[in-house]
Amino acid sequence: MRQSNIERKTAETQIELSLKLDGSGISDIDTGVGFLDHMLTLFSRHGRFDLTIKCTGDTNVDDHHSVEDIGICLGQAFREALGDMRGINRYADVTLPMDETLILCAVDISGRAYLGFEGEFTSEKIGTFDTELVEEFFAAFVRTSSVTLHIRKICGRNSHHIAEGMFKAFGRTMRTACAIDDRFREEIPSTKGVL
């Protein structure tokens, strides 16, 4: 069973996260950051990952620590749940429209952490959420999952649509990359023999 349970406790956050890769998109998300709850629910549904997150963080300061630490935990969960990566597709990409917004997302589950992010927002906040935290989340995820991830806004004006398009595209891309290809179920998808 490709799943993982992560706990992280620091002076800034306490997080419990469970991830099931071969799920149906069921989620129970309570991060203390309403907009992030919405984004991670979309990620879970479009990725068909079962995801539970409970976070208590110092949101009285701001949302930064919670957002970053949840990205760290989600990356750790994917890394653990994927194991030796045997049989996975490894690569995936999607171009996703969200009304006036168009987002490109591509991933290589490579063992090499890299984030290419080109996603300028048209406002500094979505409600009370700082839009710069979207990139912080993906950067934290990449560091602990050791994947190469590119996210690019091709066009878009509405900041909510831009963020939503990114998380939906991220979910769909990860779903395809993590999926097992039955023809190569016993193979590591690398000429090196390891990822």
Q: How many CA atoms lie within 13 A of 4 on its CB side?
A: 17
CB neighbours (10 Å) of residue 159?
A: 20
Structure tokens at 74: 């989600």
Q: Parallel, antiparallel, or unpaired for β 50-57 and 13-20?
A: antiparallel
CA separation for the pair 162, 176 (Å, rounded): 21
Phi then psi dihedrals of residue 175, to 5 deg: -60, -45
pLDDT at residue 158 is higher than 90: yes
Report CA-CA distances (Å) from 12 to 65, 68, 84: 7, 11, 32
Average pLDDT over all residues of the chain: 96
Collapse the DSSP code of 126 into the 3-class scheme (helix H, G, I; strand E, B; otherwise coil) and give the result.
strand
Cβ atoms 69, 36 nearer than 8 A: no
CB neighbours (10 Å) of residue 179?
A: 16
The predicted-structure confidence for 13-60, as pLDDT tens digits, reads as follows 999 999 999 999 999 999 999 999 999 999 999 999 999 999 999 999
Segment 104-133 shows an average pLDDT of: 97
Q: Where are the domains of the chain?
A: 3-184
Cβ atoms 181, 88 nearer than 8 A: yes
CATH topology classification for 3-184: Ribosomal Protein S5; domain 2 (3.30.230)
pLDDT at residue 185 is higher than 90: no
The predicted-structure confidence for 68-102, as pLDDT tens digits, reads as follows 999 999 999 999 999 999 999 999 999 999 999 99
**pTM of the model as a whole:** 0.96
Segment 151-157 shows an average pLDDT of: 98
Cβ atoms 134, 10 nearer than 8 A: no
Counting residues of the chain whose pLDDT is more than 70, the rounded percentage is 100
- Across the chain, how many H-helices and E-strands are there? 4, 10
Collapse the DSSP code of 105 into the 3-class scheme (helix H, G, I; strand E, B; otherwise coil) and give the result.
strand
